Structure 1
């Protein structure tokens, strides 16, 4: 019996480790975390205008041969009808993207990994124009899920050189 328990414990431990290394689609977990930071000028202007920040996430992927009839205008499979939007205070902070707007039936149309595109903009409460230039995400969801990705924002007039994140 002692040997059986040891073997069972080993099997459970290996199963837990393997589950952690499975792709996001196998785990049915499409969420990830983003942290928004601001330049001093952007923080001051957003505070003065009582402006917020919106994080937009859209999921997509490359089509299987038999799914080409479902591609969007850029030849990819959109996994949702609209972007997931999360509001963050104008001071910056943490955004948790859930992946709840994904149409899971469309996952069968993909050849390859689920990808995600994330953009950040001002909430447009004080102006109809976006005030921010921000880093962005565009790539495999599995890369983004490795940990919170920090996206930095500055005012557009600061001419901030935005970066693709995370860096591989």
Structure 2
């Protein structure tokens, strides 16, 4: 259930993260639509959460590779899905130098099968840059 993400940064984001000695965190959660017989296990938006907590991978503030292992997926819950699992991935600053997130980043939200194989590149800029983030799936 693992896959790879490559985080790239705008020049301004790279400079700010370096100056602040800030890191980057990639968050992943897995989910899916419930079988009718498993509807009672669905969350408040009608989906099955496959991960009790997001998988978090910290990478340096320079960006780069993050391996999402899928190790936090509760395999028993896969039987509750009506189809294949989906994944949601977001990227944020690690909040070492500031209590607020500094980054606006592309994100992943869709079928897990679409992100397995070649690494998916997620580009980030500073929130103040008003980066046009994109859904990658």
Task: Give the TM-score normalised by structure 2.
Answer: 0.99
Cα drift, residue 80 of structure 1:
1.2
- 1:34, CA displacement in angstroms? 0.1
Structure 2 residue 45 is the aligned partner of structure 1 residue 74 = yes
Distance in 1 of aligned mates of 2:69 and 2:109: 17
2:102 maps to 131
Aligned equivalent of 1:148: 119
Show the counterpart of 1:91.
62
Structure with the largest fraction of strand: 2
TM-score normalized with structure 1 length: 0.81
Question: Matched residues in 2 for 1:31 and 1:146: separation?
Answer: 9
Q: What is the aligned length?
A: 137
Larger of the two Rg values belongs to structure: 1
Structure 2: 5+ residue stretches without partners: none
Higher RCO structure, 1 or 2 (CA under 8 Å, sep 6+): 2
Structure 2: how far apart are the matches of 1:41 and 1:161?
Answer: 15
Root-mean-square deviation (CA), in Å?
0.5
Which structure 1 residue ranges, 4+ long, deviate > 4 Å from structure 2?
A: none
**Alignment partner of 1:107 out of 57, 75, 78:** 78
- Structure richer in helix, relative to its length: 1
Q: Does 1:52 align with 2:23?
A: yes
- Match in the other structure for 1:23: none
The whole-number CA distance in structure 2 between the counterparts of 1:103 and 1:161 is 34
Cα distance in structure 2, aligned partners of 1:70 and 1:147: 33
CA distance in structure 2 between the partners assigned to 1:154 and 1:73 by the alignment: 32
